Amino acid sequence: MAAYLTLWWVWICIALALGVLELLTPGFIFLAFGLGAIIMAGLVLVLPTGNVPALLALFAILSLLVWIGLRYAFRRQSSGARIITRDINEN
């Protein structure tokens, strides 16, 4: 069963399933995992290997890096909310 993880199309299916889960859940919970699975599909297609534990470790590292990148990208966006520093009852 673990040998399926050495096929590139399995990683695409995992990415699609994570994309559907992302649409069904609030927030950006599964987005980094889905993008990590897409990157893994490309890597497995270009560099095929049979070492499943190494593939899972690489998927975890890639997902973490994508999560850090998304967190940095979304933090830079402004919500447009005004910050009030003075109360209207103050003189």
pTM of the shown model: 0.79
CB atoms within 10 A of CB 70: 14
- Whether 66 shows a pLDDT value over 80: the answer reads yes
- Whether 71 shows a pLDDT value over 80: the answer reads yes
pLDDT at 81: 74
Domain boundaries, the chain: 2-75
67: exposed, middle or buried (Cβ count in 10 Å: 0-12, 13-18, 19+): middle
Query: pLDDT tens, 10-37?
Result: 999 999 999 999 999 987 889 999 999 9
Identify the residue whose tokens are 């673990």.
2
Query: pLDDT tens, 29-58?
Result: 899 999 999 999 999 999 988 899 999 999
